[in-house]
Amino acid sequence: MFNIHKKREKTNYLFYLSAFLLPLIIIFISLLSQGISWGADRTILASDGFHQYVVFAETLKNILHGQDSLFYTFTSGLGLNFYALISYYLGSFLSPIFYFFNNTNMPDAIYLVTLVKFGLIGLSSAYSLKKLYSNVKLPLILVLSASYSLMSFATSQLEINMWLDVFILVPLIILGLHQLLNQSGYLLYYLTLTTLFIQNYYFGFMTAIFLTLYFIVQQTKTSGWKKILQNFKSFTIVSILAGLSSAIMLLPTYLDLKAHGEKFTEITKLFTEGAWYLDLFAKNFIGAYDTTKFGAIPMIYVGLLPLILALTYFTISSIKWQIRLAYALLFLFLIVSFYFQPLDLMWQGMHAPNMFLHRYAWLLSFLIILLAGKSLNHLSELNWKHFLPALFSLSLGFIATGFFTKRYDFLEFNQFILTAIFMLAYATILISHAQKQISFLVFTIFTLIFTIGETSINTYYQVSGLREEWVFPTKESYSKNLKEINKIVKYAKDNSNTFFRMERLYPQTGNDSMKFNYYGLSQFSSIRNRSSSSLLDRLGFKSTGTNLNLRYQNNTIIMDSLLGIKYNFSQKMPNKFGFEQVFEDTGMKLYQNQYASQLGLLTNGVYKNIDITVNTLDNQSKLLNQISGLSLNYFTKLNANMEAGATILDKQVTVKPNTEGTTSVSYTVQVPANRQVYVSVPNLTFNNKDTKNFQINIDGTDYNYTISNVYSLFNLGAYLEAGTHRITFKFGKEQEVNFTAPNFYAINLTNYQEAMSVINQRTIQVSTTQNQVTAFYSTDKKSSILFTIPYDKGWTAKQNGHQLPIRRAQNGFMVVDVPAGSGNVTLSFIPQGFILGIGLSLIGILGMTGYYIYQRQSKK
């Protein structure tokens, strides 16, 4: 008896080890085929992995090392609720691993975590499926767990590694739900659902909808209304308690989204864009990868065998027709959701995704696995006739898709061949077993071999598709200028005793300030403060639409100084008045702004909002005058004459390649003395839409400018003496360029210096520690401190222990009114709802404890 138990235990260990290692090894080999491995030059950081996930991991590492606050960071968007960002990007239970890495080897950390997550998906699904389907032999459970863990939704978007945690938890949640309904336990459902809500509110929302529908389906198995009501009570109570227990994260995140998130997407049509009849067949071909950008068909592939078995489930007559009908309705509801815009939006919280469409498609893949497991649970009952409907309908659908290859141009001939081969193989294996022509051992061996082969091939195709569409960047590109910038940032911090911001003139990502751990303005994040971003947009820092992007580049020295941008760094001089080089390392130079202000600006009397219009330069002038208390003119328009090189029609300029193939146009500009000059090039468009940079030649010297996510206001330099200057726009070779006739503007440096001197001579010193800001001020009259910090209800202000009201300034910044005299004002940030969330979480935990005890007592 002891030996039997020991043998069973060993079998279980081998089974779970195989469930973990199988998907891990397959994804490891697939990545290795792309040159991606531990320490390799090629990284896993495709798409958002490069611009967001590795950067946010670096920021979390800095926080874990005590360099910043878990609640708030000034390294993004002038200031950001980092606690809310965690709930979307960093909520994984594996995130603490980042503590042990640095910004040189952080790509390896992302690679390691991704591999482990795929292994954990296999492990959790194998454990859950084994418990759910006790009649299914372990090798066949392994088939399902490997298929699920390497479904196309996961492998085609593996760079978004936070989604992988969801796939780890959901099988356990379903197992927990079944235990709850069977009255064999509540804790697994409660703990895993609570964990999911804490880790990822977004996918938690989708899962909650699915769980509700899945619960309703399960009631078709229940006889008697009394039992159904009892199940409903348990499901509702435990689900609510899980929601309450996760309030420590859910409530602050909800309030942040309510205050700063996007509006609901308006339903404009009944059907989703581009959907067609054979989409589901097209995306079930082995290796099918269309795009993860706009216009994508749902990523639903989870393997041909699970799909055949899932469809076979509906032919099993020993299962009550009511149960099969309920599952069929759930299955169809998910499919219909892909086609109907209102349902598609409902699953995604009524927000249309920015690429990576149909983000709930994995639920159909998961349901297919569950139904396949149910079919395998009845495998001994199945004869060859049970498989025919599934095999026939799928074959017909695949063949029909072949007649529309122009519509599905992502499908290649070899994918049709592969799918046909594996369909034939599975048909042979299933029917031969049903006819008892092969033993169960042979059936199991061949099923494992073909499933592992199919899954491996599809994973390779998905990873290859990801590489072709998004590119896996090299570690060299990730680490470019890393050492030099780290030294520059260290120098700036060592030589400043008050708060300051800095920015990179030619950025690598929209989150460089987070990557290199300095306080900055630029931002690329789904979690952002839309009020401040919208204000900054009107002040010249481009952040349009949903404010997903916010960029520092292409602005004026007025905004540099008002926002406390004390440093710029680049390999070329910024040509900005008041910026002087103070440090250099290996060609990377640091320039200090002599006129940069503090984080808090002491205003001339009590601050009153100005009228913000669409005229950016007017807004800057009015803001500077309002803060300084002056009434000066800063911007003037300059006269410019276009030389040969372009044609003009109704103020629209068209520049075509010359006989040498280059595209350029020149202007001569009269510049008075003491001016900082800019040129605005409205509606600048290139026939090559991938163009992100161009050059401006200023008196014989070329300067590079970006046009990616920025406004087309370009700095032409500071001129202390009057003169005529030649400005040439150089657009490269074989380009046709169109733009509205440019306007040249100049800042009067005398007036600019006067205004900034007035502001900077006022007595105020601002410093920050973690999530606190301390401002010492002295004023002879009642005034205001305008903090260039995004307005957020999580901030509180105190002076001498007494709370001060915080007002919105221009709808995006914060203002605290202070009396005449001197004193300290302390701002503290705790996410709105965090304290209440702690209380609700404690209530949820205590409630679950009480309910658990009550249920145990009731059974006695």
Contact 429, 391 (CB under 8 A): no
Contact 324, 313 (CB under 8 A): yes
231 and 276 belong to one structural domain:
no
Does the pLDDT at position 855 exceed 90? no
Residue 426 belongs to some domain of the structure: yes
Query: Where residue 1 falls among pLDDT bands split at 50, 70, 90?
Result: low
pLDDT tens, position by position, 788-804: 999 999 999 999 889 99
3-state secondary structure of 663: strand
Contact 149, 141 (CB under 8 A): no
What is the average per-residue pLDDT within 207-235?
95
252 and 293 belong to one structural domain:
no
322 and 224 belong to one structural domain:
no
721 and 739 belong to one structural domain:
yes
Does the pLDDT at position 859 exceed 80? no
Residue 674 belongs to some domain of the structure: yes
| Rounded-to-integer distance, Cα 419 and Cα 285, Å | 6
Residue 625 belongs to some domain of the structure: no
Place of tokens 């899962």: 207
Per the DSSP assignment, residues forming a β-bridge with 815 are 786, 807
Does the pLDDT at position 15 exceed 60? yes
Check residue 11 and give its pLDDT.
85
3-state secondary structure of 235: helix
Element (H, E) at 231: helix 225-245
Interhelix angle 106-132/362-377, nearest 10 degrees: 40
Contact 743, 680 (CB under 8 A): yes
Does the pLDDT at position 858 exceed 80? no
Provide the phi-psi class of 646: left if phi over 0, else alpha when psi is between -120 and 50, else beta.
Answer: beta
The lowest-confidence range among 112-126, 475-489, 701-715, 755-769 is 701-715
What is the average per-residue pLDDT within 819-830?
96
Residue 770 belongs to some domain of the structure: no
Mean pLDDT of all residues belonging to the chain: 95
pLDDT tens, position by position, 346-386: 999 999 988 889 999 999 999 999 999 999 999 999 999 99
Residue that is last in its domain, among 401, 424, 445: 445
257 and 271 belong to one structural domain:
no
Residue that is last in its domain, among 399, 423, 445: 445
Query: Where residue 856 falls among pLDDT bands split at 50, 70, 90?
Result: confident
> Can you give the residue range of the structural domain that contains 441?
267-445
Q: How far is CA 376 from the centre of its chain?
A: 38
232 and 326 belong to one structural domain:
no
Query: Where residue 132 falls among pLDDT bands split at 50, 70, 90?
Result: very high
Residue 54 belongs to some domain of the structure: no
Taken as a whole, the chain contains a residue count of 860
Check residue 570 and give its pLDDT.
95
Place of tokens 């702004």: 593
| Rounded-to-integer distance, Cα 301 and Cα 291, Å | 14
Query: Where residue 16 falls among pLDDT bands split at 50, 70, 90?
Result: very high
708-to-103, 541, 750 alpha-carbon distances in Å: 25, 12, 32
Residue 630 belongs to some domain of the structure: no
335 and 350 belong to one structural domain:
yes
What is the average per-residue pLDDT within 24-48?
97
3-state secondary structure of 129: helix
Residue 146, classified by CB atoms within 10 Å of its CB into exposed (0-12), middle (13-18) or buried (19+), is: buried
Pairing of strands 80-81, 501-504: unpaired
276 and 416 belong to one structural domain:
yes
Does the pLDDT at position 601 exceed 60? yes
Check residue 563 and give its pLDDT.
98
Does the pLDDT at position 3 exceed 80? no
Token pair, residue 257, equals 């989204």
| Rounded-to-integer distance, Cα 244 and Cα 847, Å | 9
Taking the model in full, what pTM does it have?
0.94
Does the pLDDT at position 4 exceed 80? no
Check residue 706 and give its pLDDT.
82
332 and 318 belong to one structural domain:
yes
Percent of the chain's residues with pLDDT above 90: 88
Query: Where residue 692 falls among pLDDT bands split at 50, 70, 90?
Result: confident
Residue 175 belongs to some domain of the structure: yes
Does the pLDDT at position 779 exceed 80? yes
257 and 351 belong to one structural domain:
no
Considering only CA atoms, which of 206, 214, 174 is closest in space to residue 326? 214
Percent of the chain's residues with pLDDT above 70: 99
Interhelix angle 201-218/321-339, nearest 10 degrees: 150
Domain count, the chain: 3
Residue that is last in its domain, among 398, 417, 445: 445
Residue 425 belongs to some domain of the structure: yes
Does the pLDDT at position 452 exceed 70? yes
Token pair, residue 826, equals 């302390």
Sign of the dihedral defined by the CA atoms of residues 440, 442, 444, 447, in that order: negative
Phi, psi angle pair for 732, to nearest 5°: 90, -165
Does the pLDDT at position 300 exceed 60? yes
251 and 292 belong to one structural domain:
no
Considering only CA atoms, which of 222, 153, 159, 190 is closest in space to residue 367? 153
Check residue 208 and give its pLDDT.
98
166 and 310 belong to one structural domain:
no
Considering only CA atoms, which of 533, 481, 536, 540 is closest in space to residue 508? 481
pLDDT tens, position by position, 142-189: 999 999 999 999 999 999 999 999 999 999 999 999 999 998 889 999
DSSP letters spanning 43-101: -S--THIIIIIHHHHHHHHHHHTTSS-SSEESSSTTSEEHHHHIIIII--TTGGGGGG-
274-to-286, 341, 633, 699, 709 alpha-carbon distances in Å: 22, 11, 53, 51, 27
Residue 306, classified by CB atoms within 10 Å of its CB into exposed (0-12), middle (13-18) or buried (19+), is: buried
**Rg of the Cα atoms in the chain:** 31
